[in-house]
Structure 1
Amino acid sequence: MRTENVESVMCNGRWILKDKKISNVDEEEVYSLATKAAENLLKRAGISLPNRFNCL
Structure 2
Amino acid sequence: MRLGERVAGNITNCASIVRQVIRGSRSNDTLTQCARNFASQEYFLESTENVSVVSVDY
Structure with a larger share of its residues in helix: 2
Do Structure 1 and Structure 2 share a fold, with TM-score over 0.5?
A: no
TM-score using structure 1 length: 0.39
- Structure possessing the higher relative contact order (Cα contacts under 8 Å, 6 or more residues apart): 1
Structure with a larger share of its residues in strand: 1
